A and B are shown apart, each in its own frame.
Chain A
Amino acid sequence: MTELKPHSKITIANVSRRGLLKGVAATGSLVLAAQLPGAKGAFAAYPTGAQSMPNGVVTNPKVFVSIGGDGIVSIVAARAEMGTGAARTALPMIVAEELDADWARVRVVQSPGDEKTYGNQDTDGSRSVRHFIQPMRQCGAAARKMLEQAAAKKWGVPEGEVEAQLHEVVHKPSGRKLGYGELAADAAALPVPADDQIKLKDASAFRYIGKGTVRITDIVDITVGKATYGQDVVLPGLKFAVVARPPVVGGKVASLDATAAMKVPGVEKIVRLEPKPAPAKFAPLGGVAVIAKNTWAALKGREALKITWDDGPNKVYDSKAYKAELEANIKKPGKVERNEGDVDQALAAAAKVITAEYYAPHIAHATMEPPAATARMQDGKWEVWAPVQSPGGARDDVAAAVGVKPEELTLHTTLLGGGFGRKSKCDFAIEAALLSKEMGGAPVKVVWTREDDIQHGFYHTVTAERFEAGLDASNKVIAWRHRSAAPSFMANFVPDPKHPGDIELGMGWVDTPFNVPNIRMESGEAQSHVRVGWFRSVNNVAHAWSIQSFIAELAAQLGRDPKDFLLEMIGPPRIIDVAKSVTTPWWDYGEPAQTYPVDTGRLRRVAELAAEKAEWGKQLPKGQGIGIAAHRSFVSYIATVVHVEVSDKGAISIPRVDTAIDCGFCVHPERVRSQLEGAAVMGLTLAKYGEISFKNGAVEQSNFHDYQLVRIDESPKETRVYIVDNGIEVPASGVGEPGVPPFAPALCNAIFAATGKRIRRLPIGNQLA
């Protein structure tokens, strides 16, 4: 680990969001994990950022695989399952593939939070398959080799004469067979083979990966009500808690009268929780907890609390005023983040300059499962059950909060009823442990209500974006200046930098892939007043929306077809060297750019594919329109075409969405389709409704009546997904997040085509009425 100097100067090419953040929290300065090693052994066919994540990767089959005498193969899922299917289906399936196990005889076992044993567990950044396809192949292949060695030894034959085939090892000359169960004990006693003794399967022999035929591991449990999420944990003697949190971040209890609350039948204890001063990482907000014998009693007790709050300095936060502040800051020169050519001179010399500004508000994750966690302490040993995206990180944070070593605390990862980045932050798990501690270690479940979730989250940033495009006399774009102002999530970890960190800059902004000679990105100042957190796709959402909308605006002003103009802006197939023109070292999703460069050929291909499948250019009736957007994020390439119908009253309906993705080698195509179908719905929600606003420092929305989600009756009627067919040699890239960013701009561009109305402020709300 290397200590690094202040924020804007550091090299963090291969550090994850959490890796970075963990370093910050631990030392107050930034810590860089070990440099990425080169391709290692026979397995790291290409380098990824996996080794640079905290605690890296583990490939030891003795950690991940166990086989019973009955032949049942247990494979450990060490990451968190929040619905992508990566943690509990795709990764164990990769192990089973190389093990040549019969999937019907595989059981998936969830690990506790323990990165020293399992390697990095931070399920975030669309990294699971991209970082673990190679290590999990190696793990499964090593286990297969051990079974083959055990069989050869048993038969007294050369290893070259035996071969694993679907849960059996076969002696090829004689046809003798031994099942995996019969070999398990002998195989387990063998040392793990050296890398050069292990051979990966040829892709032509794959049974599961790349096929999309394996159902998700929890499909039966989910459909019968047996799947256990964080809200569902039941323990003997369990107590139930809800917390009244300060309405304004940083607020404190000024006075408390709990007399009436204590009279509510079933209420057992009232506990005050102190907030931590900023930067507070994932510390709870503080407030007053009511602990009761059931959730209902706790809720009634909370209603009966009489609290006055000392709101503190964030009381000034007002979304209307803040919007004006951001919009003023993008009208001024900002901090230069990328510079190529001479934008000032090119804009001054341009025959025409086209300018537009965009604004997108905070949004809340609103996972269907509101946060919840359970904790207890028995005989000095802590146990916590929590739906956390980063089980290892949560274990460290919860242990620190109750003053024990991580080894003294077991963090059981439940299923997550949605994550989207909210459950990367383990404040709710810390609350459960603090409350159990107050109850002498008795089991306590802290339940967040929907109101708690909407009003006390870690919100997607709010952003203002300004574009100036300079055109020459032949209407070619010769200058591109993009200013952005958005509060940074770094303010959770370090004193507010008031400008984006490298991770935020790298999310579809400084890596803008346009073929323009003079380009400059400048960030405007933006102070953070609330807990800004990452939301699925993060800064890509507003960057893609504004950039891809502005492209369509330029096309319209120039009388060009938007798809042709987009392709012209992307330019010819080439690799863009972002690193050479940025101020803060380029963060390419924590990946080595040699493996995952910005490849405009791949971006063009998905744009062309989506357009072709959507029959781009076809005649549409009045009131209907079609729009396109293409965006690279999480080192995948994706383009979306939305077909919209806008009624006379401004109501939107979407008959069809066509999305094309290039995510490198695709491990589970059926789950990739599922992710992209869902991304269209989430994209529509954030475009149509998504807005969290603040007044006097407090959130104005509270539940699904004023923080609406798209329902089935307004959802796209049909989302068609096209996956670019890549071989195993093409590095797998992100899937969970890339689907969201192109949706809103494709929709807004379609709305423009249908109505002539340009949406420059999200959500769309009633702007079309």
Chain B
Amino acid sequence: MANLQVNGQARAYDGDPSMPLLWYLRDELAMTGTKFGCGVGLCGVCTVHLNGEAVRSCQVQMSEAAGKSVTTIEGLHPKHEHPVQVAWRDIGVPQCGYCQTGQIMNAAALLAKKPAPTDAEITTAMAGNLCRCGCYQRIHAAIRAAAKGA
């Protein structure tokens, strides 16, 4: 049995302890804002916050999530107006949009730690998140804009 918090709500899980948090969120809780992309921690589309740290939910087993607090894109901001979300809309970052929840979660974690990151810090922090449409220029610009607004 694993007890955890998901977006502030207590959850109990008694299935396979080796199941990745990703599949628990998507298949058991039907919270599909956290995406599946590679399953091996190389693309970042499944990024969530675990006790405030950005993690790849495909690489976190349920046994490791026990006792911890998970924040997903659905719970990032009560009104869905986190500065990163607002900047994403203002700058028109997405094309297909599939990777963007993971990008936003990673960017939000970066700004929580470093409210005014340098360009190099943005690039380094975001290098684990792939975008096949190639929206990187706008991702960078949106993080810069969100940092100004923070």
Contacts and interface: CB of A to CB of B under 8 A. Distances in A.
A700 to B, nearest CB: 17
B63 to A, nearest CB: 13
A731 B106 CA distance: 42
B121 to A, nearest CB: 11
A704 B38 contact: yes
Contacts of B35: 229, 231-232, 368-369, 417
A696 B27 CA distance: 36
A220 B43 CA distance: 22
Contact of A368 (B26, B32, B45, B126): B45
Given A712-B140, A713-B124, A220 B32 contact: no
A266 B27 CA distance: 12
Nearest to B123: A713
Contacts of A297: 16
Nearest to A372: B36
B57 to A, nearest CB: 12
Given A219-B94, A368-B99, A704-B43, A674 B85 contact: no
Interface in A275-333: 294-297, 300
B137 A450 contact: no
Given A296-B23, A719-B137, A231 B36 contact: yes
Contacts of A159: none
Interface string B74-89: 1000001000010011
Given A227-B97, A712-B127, A295 B132 contact: no
A712 B135 CA distance: 9
Contacts, number: 180
Interface in A344-379: 366-370
Contacts of B23: 294-296
Contacts of B96: 82-83, 367-369, 415-419
Interface residues of B, number: 56
B17 to A, nearest CB: 11
Contacts of A222: 94, 97, 100-101
A705 interface: yes
B42 A703 contact: yes
A576 interface: no
A83 B134 CA distance: 11
Given A216-B94, A716-B137, A224 B80 contact: yes
Nearest to A224: B80
Contacts of A266: 15-16
A718 interface: yes
A267 to B, nearest CB: 12
A227 B33 CA distance: 8
Given A224-B80, A704-B43, A216 B92 contact: yes
A709 interface: yes
Contact of B130 (A223, A447, A711): A711
Contacts of A216: 92, 94
Interface in A656-709: 670, 674-675, 677-682, 703-705, 709
A240 interface: yes
B104 interface: yes
B92 A712 contact: no
Contact of A670 (B72, B92, B97): B92
A226 interface: yes
A715 interface: yes
Interface in B3-54: 15-16, 19-20, 23, 26-28, 30-40, 42-43, 45
A678 B135 CA distance: 6
A447 B36 contact: yes
Contacts of A218: 94, 97
B62 to A, nearest CB: 10
Contact of A215 (B33, B36, B89, B137): B89
Contacts of B139: 712
A243 B146 CA distance: 42
Contacts of B104: 223
A223 B92 CA distance: 10
A212 B27 CA distance: 38
B38 A83 contact: no
A223 B81 CA distance: 9
Nearest to A451: B39
Nearest to A657: B137
A367 B134 CA distance: 11
Given A225-B34, A295-B26, A679 B95 contact: no
A681 B89 CA distance: 21
Contact of A450 (B40, B95, B133, B135): B40
B92 A225 contact: no
- A294, A711, A719 — most chain B CB neighbours (10 Å): A711
B95 A674 contact: yes
Nearest to B82: A223
B69 to A, nearest CB: 18
Contacts of A296: 16, 19-20, 23, 27
Nearest to A81: B96
B111 to A, nearest CB: 15
A296 B73 CA distance: 22
A480 B18 CA distance: 62
- B16, B30, B38, B134 — most chain A CB neighbours (10 Å): B134
A682 B137 CA distance: 13
A367 B132 contact: yes
Contacts of B98: 229, 367-369, 415, 417-418
Given A220-B80, A294-B23, A225 B32 contact: yes
B107 to A, nearest CB: 11
Contacts of B74: 224-225
21 contacts: A82-B96, A215-B92, A219-B88, A220-B80, A224-B33, A224-B74, A232-B32, A294-B19, A296-B20, A300-B16, A368-B98, A368-B99, A368-B133, A677-B134, A677-B137, A677-B138, A682-B133, A703-B38, A705-B40, A713-B124, A713-B127
Given A295-B27, A417-B35, A711-B136, 6 more contacts: A216-B92, A225-B32, A294-B23, A295-B26, A368-B45, A368-B132
Interface of B: 15-16, 19-20, 23, 26-28, 30-40, 42-43, 45, 72-74, 80, 85, 88-89, 92, 94-101, 104, 123-124, 126-140
What 5 pairs across the A-B complex have the smallest Cβ distances? A225-B33, A681-B134, A417-B98, A83-B96, A678-B134
